[in-house]
């Protein structure tokens, strides 16, 4: 019996197999337990001798079982350790990280710069009624400026009596909304998307503008000039910028000026504030009395300056990007080239 069980214990290949051996030997119905049950029927002399032998047999098998069990669980643990081995010193696998689109980044930058100068952010819808987009800005229906805007018109089904709507062609309708919502005095910028039917190297059908207005009792073109120069110095991170104010015409400002910024292009490297090139970056002027009036502001008491700047344009200048269309193609290689994606 001893030989049989010592061998069985040694042969058990798993903890479950070993448990079977234990039950067969020492379990309630086990062979050794059964043998020990015969002690009761022996006479005292016999029982003394046989009892001692059986006890030592039971203890020996029990010890062998325990030893084997410890061995098997060590082996199982080792096996797990082997299979779950992990080299924590290996370098991590790089994961692609999302980044902020250059235009969004520029919007955040310019919002922060204007915030420092006391401008809050105002918003308006991209699908705009033609009253806000045109009429209130002194562009009546028959005005030629409506044609120049290459407007996208919203389709209206037969019987739809809502006023005509367009995709806003500029951020200027937000001037009207901000005045009507907040009253005067007022200092806000309105960055956002605008739409015109136009497509070439420097035009896309959707692009971005930031509108800016400051209305108070003694606002002049001088305030406009200072504000734009301060903005450009902060945005382009240069000490010196040169802006050129060209007399122009917009129905919603009088007088009006288009503003160009001086830059150089040496082998594709753009520099602001030097060189002999000019890029138009915005339209501006003193808010027309009719515009103030349309929004319920008394032009005899209040004046304001207004400007509308091309965000994509200043982003191209700041980051030296020659083709506007690439901004909106979501080409990761392009974004990486300009450092906008990992
Ligand atoms: N809305 C004009 C444009 O889109 C820009 C502008 C804004 C001009 C404000 C003057 C004042 O061209």
| Residue 36 pLDDT | 87
Give distance in angstroms: CA of 278 to centre of ligand 1: 19
Q: 202 in helix, strand or coil?
A: coil
* CB 103 within 8 Å of CB 312: yes
Q: Note the ipTM here.
A: 0.98
Mean pLDDT estimate for the chain: 92
pLDDT 10s digits, 54-98: 899 899 999 989 999 998 889 888 988 888 888 889 998 888 777
Q: Where are the alpha helices (DSSP H) in the chain?
A: 2-11, 15-26, 31-37, 44-83, 102-116, 130-133, 145-148, 173-182, 221-236, 289-294, 311-319, 332-337
Q: Give the confidence band of 263 by pLDDT, cuts at 50, 70, 90.
A: very high
Q: Mind giving me the DSSP string for 293-334?
A: HHTT--TTT-EEEEEEEEHHHHHHHHHT---GGGGGS--HHH
Q: Which residues 6+ apart lie within 8 Å of 337 measured at CB?
A: none
Closest listed residue to residue 103, CA positions, set 252, 180, 210:
210
Residue 182 has pLDDT above 90, yes or no: yes
* Predicted model pTM: 0.73
Query: Which of the pair, 136 or 11, is modelled with greater confidence?
Result: 136
Instruction: State whether the beta carbon of 138 lies less than 6 angstroms from ligand 1.
Output: no
* CB 314 within 8 Å of CB 294: no
Instruction: State whether the beta carbon of 133 lies less than 6 angstroms from ligand 1.
Output: no
* CB 302 within 8 Å of CB 292: yes
Give distance in angstroms: CA of 258 to centre of ligand 1: 9
Pocket test for ligand 1, best of 202, 215, 228, 252 (most atoms within 8 A of CB): 252
* CA–CA distance, 21 with 263 (Å, rounded to integer): 91
Rama region for 246: left / alpha / beta (φ>0; ψ in -120 to 50; rest): beta
Instruction: State whether the beta carbon of 253 lies less than 6 angstroms from ligand 1.
Output: yes
* CA–CA distance, 210 with 309 (Å, rounded to integer): 5
| Residue 40 pLDDT | 85
| Residue 98 pLDDT | 79
Residue 5 has pLDDT above 80, yes or no: yes
Give distance in angstroms: CA of 134 to centre of ligand 1: 12
Give distance in angstroms: CA of 283 to centre of ligand 1: 5
Q: What is the DSSP-derived secondary structure letter of residue 91?
A: P
Compute the residue count for the chain: 342
Q: 134 in helix, strand or coil?
A: coil
Residue 114 has pLDDT above 90, yes or no: yes
Q: Give the confidence band of 115 by pLDDT, cuts at 50, 70, 90.
A: very high
* CA–CA distance, 193 with 103 (Å, rounded to integer): 11
pLDDT 10s digits, 301-327: 999 999 999 999 999 899 888 778 888
Kindly report the protein residue whose alpha carbon is nearest to atom 12 of ligand 1.
283
Binding residue per annotation — 254? yes
The percent of residues in the chain predicted with pLDDT above 90, rounded, is: 58
Closest listed residue to residue 104, CA positions, set 213, 208, 202:
208
């Amino acid at each position: 019996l001893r030989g049989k069980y010592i061998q069985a214990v040694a042969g058990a290949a798993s903890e479950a197999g070993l448990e079977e051996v234990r039950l067969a030997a020492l379990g309630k119905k086990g062979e050794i337990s059964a043998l020990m049950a015969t002690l009761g029927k022996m006479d005292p002399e016999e029982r003394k001798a046989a009892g001692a032998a059986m006890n030592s047999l039971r203890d020996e098998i029990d010890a062998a079982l325990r030893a084997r069990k410890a061995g098997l669980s060590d082996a199982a643990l080792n096996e797990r350790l082997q299979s779950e081995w992990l080299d924590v010193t290996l370098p991590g696998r790089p994961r692609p990280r999302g980044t902020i689109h250059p235009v969004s980044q520029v919007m955040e930058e310019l919002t922060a710069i204007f915030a420092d100068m006391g401008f809050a952010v105002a918003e308006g819808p991209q699908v705009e009624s033609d009253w806000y987009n045109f009429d209130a800005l002194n562009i009546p229906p028959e005005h030629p400026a409506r044609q120049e805007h290459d407007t996208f018109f919203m389709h209206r089904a037969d019987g739809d009596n809502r006023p005509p709507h367009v995709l806003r062609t500029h951020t200027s309708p937000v001037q009207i909304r901000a005045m009507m919502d907040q009253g005067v005095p007022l200092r806000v910028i309105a960055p956002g998307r605008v739409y015109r039917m136009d497509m070439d190297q420097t035009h896309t059908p959707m692009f971005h503008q930031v509108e800016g207005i400051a209305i108070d009792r003694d606002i002049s073109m001088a305030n406009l000039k200072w504000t734009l120069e301060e903005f450009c110095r902060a945005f382009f991170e240069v000490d010196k910028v040169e802006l050129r104010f060209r007399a122009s015409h917009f129905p919603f400002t009088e007088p009006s000026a288009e503003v160009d910024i001086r830059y150089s292009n040496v082998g594709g490297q753009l520099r602001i504030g030097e060189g002999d090139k000019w890029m138009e970056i915005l339209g501006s002027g003193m808010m027309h009395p009719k515009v103030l009036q349309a929004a319920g502001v008394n032009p005899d008491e209040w004046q304001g300056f207004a400007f509308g700047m091309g965000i994509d344009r200043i982003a191209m200048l700041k980051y030296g990007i020659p083709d506007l269309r690439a901004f909106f193609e979501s080409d990761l290689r392009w974004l990486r080239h300009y450092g906008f994606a990992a």
